[in-house]
Amino acid sequence: MALDLFNASVQHGLDVAGISVFAISGALLGVRKNFDVFGMAVLAEVTALGGGIFRDLVIGAIPPVAFTDLGYLLTPLVVTVLVFFLHPEVERINKAVNFCDAAGLGLFCVVGTTKAHEYGLGLTASVVLGMATAAGGGVLRDILAGDVPQLLRWDRDLYAIPALVGASATALLIKFGQLNGATAAGAAALAFVLRLAAMNYGWRAPRAWQRRSTAVEAE
């Protein structure tokens, strides 16, 4: 993701860190679903890279960076091997994983929005792709695992909305010519803190006004 907001090596390190924590969530879901190692690897790859690949295909950044930087493609595989052998220990640090996942969400919504705008999209479309970059992999993961995506479930803490807020803040910074390394970090931190608050306080999006449905989501 060749952005000028940070030093290239710093940016690459942040990307790999975000990919790693998203891959952990995918591989762990594979464990919970009793998938074999190949299934775990597929979920790890899709969770970590799916949102970015979708964004790159939409904006015409072909081939997607996930296929031009071997580190991006291999990182989820390394994570899969670690989770395969150490998943009980990884489960025990679930809070730390969620913390890192929230950080990845903040980073990717900023990176996605900025890259989409650099490729000529308007601010609104850039915000949508920024949100998709951050949350799209999780949607694909849940679909492949046979679950209703957590993004759509009322009984899950806010996830897409923090990404939307971070992407919108980034778009506003672009509009007013104030986007730089420090302000981009601030937009990412905004999404990060909102996601952490949602997890800590159980914030959820409202359901339909005066709804009559009695449907209950399955665990």
Q: What is the pLDDT of residue 217?
A: 55
Q: Which of 106, 84, 127, 120 is nearest to 193 (CA)?
A: 106
Q: What is the pLDDT of residue 15?
A: 83
C-alpha closest to that of 160 among 142, 144, 136: 136
Res. 1 pLDDT band, cuts 50 70 90: very low
- What mean pLDDT is predicted for residues 87-97? 79
Residue 214 DSSP symbol: -
- Give the residue-averaged pLDDT of 19-46: 93
Q: Is the alpha carbon torsion for 150, 125, 196, 32 positive or negative?
A: positive
Query: Residue 7 has what pLDDT?
Result: 62
Distance CA 203, CA 191 (A): 14
Phi-psi region of 202 (alpha: psi -120 to 50; beta: other; left: phi over 0): left
Predicted confidence band of residue 156 (pLDDT cuts 50, 70, 90)? confident
* Band (154; pLDDT cuts 50, 70, 90): confident
Q: How far apart, in Å, are the Cα atoms of 185 and each of 2, 5, 11, 108, 204? A: 16, 9, 12, 11, 25
pLDDT at 2: 40
68 Cβ partners below 8 Å, 6+ apart? Answer: none
Structural domain boundaries of the chain? Answer: 8-200
Percent of the chain with pLDDT over 70: 93
Q: Name the packing angle between helices 123-144 and 160-175 (round to 10°).
A: 160
Do 133 and 111 contact (CB within 8 A), yes or no?
Answer: yes
pLDDT at 78 over 90: yes
Tokens of 165: 């807020």
Which regions of the chain does DSSP assign to beta strands (E)? none
Task: Give Cα separations from 45 to 14, 22, 162, 172, 180 (angstroms).
Answer: 17, 9, 23, 31, 30
pLDDT reported for residue 87: 84
Could you tell me the pTM of the whole model? 0.86
Q: Given pLDDT bands bounded at 50, 70 and 90, which one contains residue 150?
A: confident
